[in-house]
Chains A and B, each alone.
Chain A
């Protein structure tokens, strides 16, 4: 492993701290607007505005002085800049990931459906498109899908979880017992997610649905692992 990688991650963590609030605001904004309007152009516009806000909060203020400070650090300017970009990508990943994760059975499927319709088969999306189309149709057949309380609960808990993680970054909750508390929250969050995202209890035959839930869980565990890693790992470098 490149010995300077932990230092770069350290910079990423520092930058993530700066944009933590905008990430939280972004998540809440995306969540709220998505709940209000599951799939409309306004949703996309709000997401873009949120990402733009994140970038604007991040880049201009003190940017030059900080970039210059980082250029004098013994990691090299290129790596320091890479850390900035990586931090921004993390923020984008968080917001988009949450957006996609929250609405895996909704907006993301619709988006993939739309993409598949436009790109047509055969293409690299063909398999995924088929999956999504089936899921899409399956979902619409499910009773209570469009009016389910679990959907709202899932969204709320998911956003609460990511907000808590964001807060942890802000407040630098890096002591082991705080991290342990974070892991407990994560487990609760995932359980709640499962419970909330599956109110209609599709039959065991709906393997496709379960596969997608598993994918959702894996994606979330990975996302959370990255976040917790960013929180804990750089501080244990020395």
Chain B
């Protein structure tokens, strides 16, 4: 574990009745990083985030945010955390500006000027009633509220759900600016893998309530490749060298997706293709599902 990590989870486990929601999850989010938390539906992403914030007590294991145990987050530590929950808890009877001001009052670093500037950047009408906002606009407001309090840690659960492409671009720019000075970090749970690929530098993939992998995005890209063979290779020989995620033969060529690519393999590979995050994610999750 890295002492300097702003978020540390150590063998977190959570169970809802007979269902194991999160199983022995260990994770660190160092300062200056954006960590993308990925996983299929029901993998335990939201439960993990809620445990980190002390909203869901773990069955076992522990977590710390900004050095404070999640189960006993002090108001001072909470004031340094920005959180966008999966379901926003906005007061529908307030106006946008009023909601932001009410929220900001709880956070010592909040200033109205910064809040209003964020409203402008996210193109939110300050005098609009929240009950009349669209789903996407409500999400924008949740994001603005999290950013406006100038936190040290941002925990975002599907923040861009319902965002149009322009708003997503604004969000990604804001996140990049947020971690630029290297002292703050973001934990971002989302299904929009294109966004994660653009913004995140670290990836954690949850599948079947377990942490499938946790690595830097560049490492992941280096490790996961598509190997193209002109002749179908010997499966056992490939499996001896690589960890194979999938195998497909089409029009005389064979494509093998591997998750631990290295150069000194000694196999008759014609070409090696890089993979985007979405392909990597799908192959990894499929393999895990098949296992």
Contact = CB atoms under 8 A, between A and B. Distances in A.
Given A14-B102, A74-B79, A76-B75, A62 B92 contact: yes
Contact of B94 (A7, A17, A65, A237): A17
Given A10-B105, A73-B106, A65 B79 contact: no
Nearest to B82: A72
Contacts of A72: 53, 55, 78, 81, 83, 85
Contacts of B78: 72-74
Interface in B88-112: 88-94, 98, 102-103, 105-107
Contacts, number: 58
A144 B61 CA distance: 75
Nearest to A72: B83
Given A7-B105, A72-B81, A18 B93 contact: yes
B251 interface: no
B106 A75 contact: yes
A69 B91 CA distance: 10
B55 A7 contact: no
A18 B91 contact: yes
A18 B131 CA distance: 12
Q: Do most interface residues of chain B lie in helix, strand or loop, or is the interface mixed?
A: loop
B89 A69 contact: yes
Nearest to A70: B89
Contacts of A7: 105-106
A74 B76 contact: yes
Contacts of B102: 10, 14
B62 to A, nearest CB: 19
A147 interface: no
A74 B75 contact: yes
A66 B55 CA distance: 13
Nearest to B54: A71
Contacts of A65: 85, 87-89
A14 B94 contact: yes
A237 B79 CA distance: 17
Contacts of B79: 74
A120 interface: no
Interface string A50-91: 000000000000101111111111111000000000000000
Q: Which of A4, A17, A70 neighbours the largest number of chain B CB atoms within 10 Å of its CB?
A: A17
Interface in A30-67: 62, 64-67
A237 B105 contact: yes
A62 B83 CA distance: 18
A68 B55 contact: yes
Contacts of B75: 4, 74-76
A18 B106 CA distance: 19
Contacts of B98: 172
Interface string B67-89: 00000000110110101010111
A17 B78 CA distance: 26
B91 A68 contact: no
Interface in A162-217: 170, 172
A68 B93 CA distance: 18
A62 B75 CA distance: 24
A70 B107 CA distance: 13
A118 interface: no
Contacts of B54: 71
B89 A68 contact: yes
A74 B89 CA distance: 15
A238 interface: yes
B91 A74 contact: no
A26 B55 CA distance: 35
B85 A68 contact: yes
A10 B106 CA distance: 9
Contacts of A17: 91, 93-94
Given A65-B88, A74-B107, A75-B75, 14 more contacts: A4-B75, A10-B102, A17-B93, A64-B87, A65-B89, A68-B55, A68-B85, A71-B55, A74-B78, A74-B79, A75-B106, A172-B98, A234-B105, A237-B105
13 contacts: A7-B105, A18-B91, A65-B87, A66-B91, A67-B89, A68-B55, A72-B78, A72-B81, A73-B103, A74-B76, A74-B78, A76-B75, A170-B93
- CB-CB nearest 4 A-B residue pairs: A69-B89, A74-B75, A74-B78, A74-B79
Interface of B: 53-55, 75-76, 78-79, 81, 83, 85, 87-94, 98, 102-103, 105-107
